[in-house]
A and B are shown apart, each in its own frame.
Chain A
Amino acid sequence: MPLSTDQRERYSRQTELQGWGAEGQERLLESSVFVAGVGGLGCAAATYLAVAGVGEVVVCDGDVVERSNLNRQFLYTRDDLTRHKAPIAAAQLRRLNPDITVTPVIAEINRSTAQGLIEGADLVLDCLDNPETRITLNRAAIAASIPMVYAAVAEYTGYLSFLNPPATPCLECFVDGTRPAVHPPVPGCTVGVLGSLEAMEALKFLTGTGETLAGRLLVVEGAVPSFDVIEIERDPDCPACRGL
């Protein structure tokens, strides 16, 4: 659908970007992105997707807001403690951009729910906080042939990649999903950087601008500080994407 006068003005600072244009914006407004987890990464990623005009942003999280979330999960306030994250995040995102649909889903992502939850999405964003659920999401994304943006953080460290096997490695080609979940220290700025970069990968992919991190891993070491882009390859023995 052609952009309205309001939309042309609202999105003008990004449609001016080379290759984006009204067509790219229209594509974005027709896209659906599944944001798996609206914790630290998810708050940042979903916010930039929403204000950029991604037509449908699905925010999925089974957790409630805890006081220790408030240093980094900026869509929530003290008034939201003990309430489910997904509907609060959705309401905030709608306020930021009434032009789009934000769908809250209160659900745990596990082997029996993952595939159904991501169905219909053009892209999945991994904004999760533990290895086991990431692996489950990776398998569901492969089965549904939906590309996935991976990010993970701890302290000042962050990793990011664009996964779309068989053209790229899948998550299990280079991440060991059997490691135990830990709750590392995470300053808000680290998830802010990595969550924003997840949104950047999504917007590049959906508008066809720039180059994604397909086949590459961004390693952010904020303490140094350093940003390295590393080549990654498919593992021929990968339990998840072998045979694709």
Chain B
Amino acid sequence: MIIYLRSGGKLKDRLKPDVDQYTRRIEVEGDKPLRDILNEVGVPDSLVAFAFINGKLERLEYRPVDGDVITLQPPVSGG
């Protein structure tokens, strides 16, 4: 299946976008949690606080389905 990972913030460089300047197309074999997919494509899950898909916050245990556009957000704690 094909999914799309997006990031506009500091994860963008790690993600190596190829579709547009924020989005990378990923081919995923089998059913697996987002956490594993991220680690496989070189985005350590420690750099991702959460993800959102279709306007809903998901955890890294989420198992993507074909066509998902997943926006990744970094941990942010400053003030």
Contacts and interface: CB of A to CB of B under 8 A. Distances in A.
B19 interface: no
Contacts of A80: none
B30 interface: no
B71 A228 contact: yes
Contacts of A155: 9-10
A134 interface: yes
Interface string A155-187: 111110000000000000011100101111010
Given A130-B77, A157-B76, A231 B56 contact: yes
B33 interface: no
A233 interface: yes
Contact of B79 (A153, A175, A179, A226): A153
Nearest to A128: B79
A119 interface: no
B9 A157 contact: yes
Given A174-B57, A175-B49, A176-B49, A156 B9 contact: yes
A154 B10 contact: yes
A232 interface: yes
A230 B76 contact: no
Name B's interface SS: loop
B57 A157 contact: no
A223 B22 CA distance: 11
Given A184-B78, A186-B78, A230 B8 contact: no
Contacts of A156: 9
A179 B71 contact: no
Nearest to B75: A179
B4 to A, nearest CB: 15
Nearest to B71: A228
Interface in B12-53: 22, 46, 49-50, 52
Contacts of A126: 79
A224 B6 CA distance: 11
Contacts of B76: 152-154, 157-159, 184
Interface of A: 37, 39-42, 126-131, 134, 151-159, 174-176, 179, 181-184, 186, 191, 217, 219, 221, 223-224, 226, 228-233
Given A129-B79, A153-B78, A159-B73, 14 more contacts: A39-B79, A40-B79, A42-B79, A129-B78, A134-B77, A152-B78, A157-B73, A157-B76, A179-B75, A184-B76, A186-B78, A191-B78, A230-B52, A231-B57
